[in-house]
Amino acid sequence: MNYIRRKSNLKKNQMQKIKPEIRNALKTLGFTDYNINIYISLLNSGEMNAHELSKVTGVPYSRIYEVLNEMTNNQKLLTKIDGRPSTFIANNPKEIFKSIKQQKDDDFESNMQVSLPYLNDLYGDHNLAKQISFTVFEGAKSCRDHVRNVLNFTVKNLSFSVKEIEDVYRAIKVNFEFLKRIGCKVQIIIEERFRKSKIYEEVKKTCEIRFVPKIHETLLISDGKTAFMSVMSNFNILKPSEISHSIISSSDLIYVTFVTEIFNRYWQNSIQ
């Protein structure tokens, strides 16, 4: 009896030293305070009977068998060894955690299958808002560098609607010549005022060209994966009166689809 009393006092002291974050983590996984006290006591001490566990853990003797049966039969935290008296040992923590994860995964899948069709019916087509990530490039040099970078990674298709073709084409002529050599299909829309210009004669060697009366913004779509829209604007908050080139670029499919639709409308309303 003196041995059991000493062991009980020792284990109570050890349980008091359990870090709060560990106790909270176990509770999140479904452990109760009684579960934690019993399971850790058995990990520390090895095999114990119900009477010993009640003394060591502080679980009332009137509740100890109920808690032990739950932990043994339902939660699979313990193994019962039949005898007079019966004793208990803690099961392997790794196996317990695997079982808890599997149960949570199964519960999630089951609950999703029950609720998702109903929620989808309620959601319907009113998809009102989505968040999209953009990158903004400011200034002529930054914009030119981004255009070149996009062109360098274009392989199959390029759609380009450009307002100031003279300024832009001279900066990317080499890139367009390379796209032609690799067999990339390039469609470009420019303003009607350039039809009889020297730059038109250059550009048509590398691209399929169409004309529109006026272009309000420059658009580019690369392989249906990256798109940008460029305007002359004053995005620079440090110099709010300064107007310069700015590009709003993204590889988000929604944005690419949006810019592609604008370009396609230009293309359908353009003339050769």
Q: How far apart are CA 258 and CA 14, in angstroms?
A: 63
User: Is 10's pLDDT higher than 70?
Assistant: no
**pLDDT > 90: percent of the chain:** 60
Residue 3: which pLDDT band, with cuts at 50, 70 and 90?
very low
User: Is 31's pLDDT higher than 80?
Assistant: yes
Average pLDDT over residues 174-198: 91
Instruction: Give the DSSP H or E segment for 245.
Output: strand 244-250
Classify strands 135-138 and 244-250 as parallel, antiparallel or unpaired.
antiparallel
**End-to-end CA distance of the chain, in Å?**
102
User: Is 237's pLDDT higher than 70?
Assistant: no
pTM: 0.53
* pLDDT score of 4: 41
Average pLDDT over residues 267-272: 88
Pick from 267, 217, 208: which is nearest to 245 by CA?
217
User: Is 26's pLDDT higher than 60?
Assistant: yes
Contact 51, 6 (CB under 8 A): no
Q: Where are the domains of the chain?
A: 2-96, 135-268
Residue 224 — left, alpha, or beta (φ > 0 → left; ψ -120 to 50 → alpha)?
Answer: left
**pLDDT > 70: percent of the chain:** 89
Residue 129: which pLDDT band, with cuts at 50, 70 and 90?
confident
* pLDDT score of 113: 93
Q: Is the dihedral of CA 250, 254, 255, 259 positive or negative?
A: positive
Instruction: Give the DSSP H or E segment for 212.
Output: strand 208-212
Average pLDDT over residues 86-96: 95
Window from 59-63, 80-84, 137-141, 227-231 with minimum mean pLDDT: 137-141
User: Is 15's pLDDT higher than 60?
Assistant: no
CATH number of 2-96: 1.10.10.10
Packing angle, helices 33-45 and 20-28, rounded to 10:
120
* pLDDT score of 203: 87
Cis peptide before 85 (omega within 30 of 0): yes
Homologous superfamily of 135-268: Endonuclease Chain A (3.30.870.10)
User: Is 23's pLDDT higher than 90?
Assistant: yes
User: Is 228's pLDDT higher than 60?
Assistant: yes
Packing angle, helices 50-57 and 2-16, rounded to 10:
50
Residue 94: which pLDDT band, with cuts at 50, 70 and 90?
very high
Q: How far apart are CA 233 and CA 244, in angstroms?
A: 6
